[in-house]
Structure 1
């Protein structure tokens, strides 16, 4: 793949004929009441390009491309076998013999959504107009030589499938590792009687929050990011001045580097370790436990928060985790009568769980990083391999 001469030989100088999608296949739609879903049906029923159920009867038994026509408009699925489809799903079959169906799948997956968005007046596409879909242009390389054309298409498919399969394997591996992490986390945070004392969080620390920031104290740009519940753990969209930050930080409660911040509304219990960089946090919605690390360490607390049974108060417009509810939450403290052994055991547990967490969640190492790199690699070669020269009348 490093030898770009290979790409040049494959694509350079190749004549291309552009055909409308309606010329290279039959385009149909499913029916409103095609079939009733059943639990043990033998055949697939597509409600969108991705979502399926089971049925006892089928309409098609062939190789097909399915395009979502309402929900997830423009999503494409390649399927071979017996199936039926809902009325808003477009079904492509009966492909002409100069088109590789998998090649067409990659073309549609890469360009169809943008094509549809450019041809709709709506801010968000709600459905596909059949004539618009039929007029989507498909490049056929080397049309005067069908055998060579199909060979070129097959080689493009082989390369892109290689990247797709690798990403799928890595994603499957990530799912397995997350299950392992959850298993060991649950196992390591469970203790035999006598080895542990269940203390309330209120016994190991007190709940703290930042001083309230008023709306007129924030701005869209500034020196210090201000995290609200909607941007907690993400990218801040509001800022406060350095002057306010320094004043409030020195006069009121403020987390220390390493303290574990938690969301107290919305997604309850989401935890972020404070890195010590200048930042400010929305009062009552983002709080932390000012814990005694001679009893419970911050990293042990962070892993525990992922399995904590919070006392959530409902009844309002959103669920909330009030300070008293946090204080009542119980945490297992190993070897409570031997502080040295307790901290050693917490350190051992954290070391094991940190390895799993880095492998399954870190964007700078582990599987998420590998998946992101492979996706970028796939997108690079996809764009390279599917960028065919357009004649002026088509590009206009």
Structure 2
């Protein structure tokens, strides 16, 4: 990194200037005034909550659509915009960023559960620098403090305006991007596998999800102030933050037998398809690999094995995430069991499902080889990225002569 050190010494030997987001730009909302039908037969590109949450650099090659009428005044996404998720069930998941690092080739619109930070002067930052900066530990720490709530947390744009970021010279930004991008090349390969997985589920007759569900139930959150529901607890209790398009093999929250007897928390068998139904996490799904209970924001689907394989249904529901997002209702953006059960998914025969799962298993094994097939190398590479990202994005702050040093 001698080149970076040389650039720092040449261009900012006395430190880097810092400024607040409020000084550097303005916060703007996403879509407004849209109904469920606007997302069923759209004519313009929609940027979803999941896209923002999952991608430090916005994925612009998407099929998601929203209806925009001629002359309708809606805000379009622009090159250099930093997009943020607005809310979540945990403060740690609020304010995840995705930067528009390419010039949009068409009009693109941001969903209403996210918001935009737009710089007054884009010339002072490289968008590719910002994609690393806003996911750094220090920025995530600052952004996490802007989230307020009890059971659901929302980012305060007023507090976001006080978040301070460094403004290193452009040559320094460029060199940092070059270094950090070398650690993230594997991510692009994983996205290819996700695309192929989506393609495998196309072309089959669709049915409503209810046609393959043997039973469904939601859970409950035992009263937090009642210690007998939580002290020395041993019963696994799944929350929406555990539901991340994953297989849940363990949890860090537990309730007692008394809680199960006296509240609406119910046991569910393993291999249910769990769908989050509330707020920002609504639409995410998972498979529980342990017998457990859940909170009230999880809809737990036991799949009828004579009609479908549970893992196939998991893939189908995950693939239909954006369809579920379009179903959200109310100010909180919630789903309910009726809406989820009406979701239409492709349903091939059991034999075809088995064939699809075999292919998906091969794709997943290739994809997971990026994480587990070469565990020492990949784990080290991820740790290296996080270490160097945080190290490279921590700067001595420039203090003009006479400025308060405190």
Larger-Rg structure: 1
TM-score w.r.t. the length of structure 2 is 0.47
Q: Which has the higher contact order (CA 8 A, sep 6+)?
A: 2
